[in-house]
Copies of this chain bind each other. A is one copy, B any other.
Amino acid sequence: MNAGVYVIGIGPGHLEGMTAEAVHILQQCTHIVGYTTYIRLLQKNFPHAVYFTTPMTREIERCQQAVQWAREGKRVALISGGDAGLYGMAGLVYEVSAGYEEVEIHVIAGVTAAMAGAALLGAPLVNDTCFISLSDALTPWNTIAHRLHCAASGDFVIVLYNPTSKRRRNYVQKACRIIQAYRSPATPVGVAQYIGREGEKTRLLTLKELAQLELNMISTVFIGNSHTRIIRGHMVTSRGYAIQEKEK
């Protein structure tokens, strides 16, 4: 395995949810860089490595350290929660490493929160889906609001990432107000929290109820489309197969 930066999606956070490829590469990396909370989840399984951790919002620093170590000839794992590519660190490390063409970058895909949460809720993503982050730290709210309009108008299933934060307590409510202009108040909604971690929990509710709900930061929100129903206590978006009743 060459020196370089291996950007690894660790999935929901438990070792069982990682791909074998990710585990094998982590075993061979001598240096591991990541957000403090994620590193705490995996450090005990990879005790051999030198670690560099920073808290939230210091992503650029982490990428810089990873690139720096790679330039020194190390095999460096840069950890992302979920998938490294979906709202993950993969983009930033390409940006930070521009100018250091000699640094190899490899992205190792993982199971993102939308997939892991969907599996717990049932099968909400079986039809066309949008992922929208409600964080306006890097995207202006006007852009987010326009995307919510577009996604709702297009009858996409909508997965909300970063739905809330201390500073953004009412953003899910703002999003609901937009979506309610297009969808029935009875539209099924699923919320998954602490996916794959201690305290994992899901709940099913309606779009109308979501507008009243207090969420925590570690939540992923799934808003059904016009084909989403509750079947056997699970949230399922129909793809449109005609199931012949008599054959069931």
Residue numbers of A with Cβ under 8 A of B are 9, 11, 15-21, 23-24, 59-60, 64, 83-88, 90-99, 101, 105, 107-112, 115-116, 118-120, 122-133, 138-139, 143, 146-147, 149-151, 153-156, 231-232, 234, 236-241, 243, 247-248
**A126–B123 Cα gap in the complex (Å)?**
24
Q: State A21–B23 Cα separation when bound (angstroms).
A: 13
Whether A128 lies near B155 (C-beta < 8 A) is no
CA separation between A82 and B99, bound complex, in Å?
34
How many angstroms between the C-alpha atoms of A96 and B11 in the bound complex?
29
Min distance, Cβ A86 to any Cβ of chain B, angstroms: 5
| B96 & A122 in contact (Cβ 8 Å cutoff) | no
5 examples of A-B residue contacts, CB within 8 angstroms? A85-B126, A87-B125, A95-B243, A129-B130, A150-B156
A128 touches B110 (CB 8 A): no
Given A91-B238, A93-B123, A150-B156, 14 extra CB contacts under 8 A? A16-B21, A85-B115, A85-B119, A87-B239, A90-B118, A90-B126, A94-B234, A110-B115, A111-B111, A127-B139, A128-B147, A139-B240, A147-B154, A147-B156
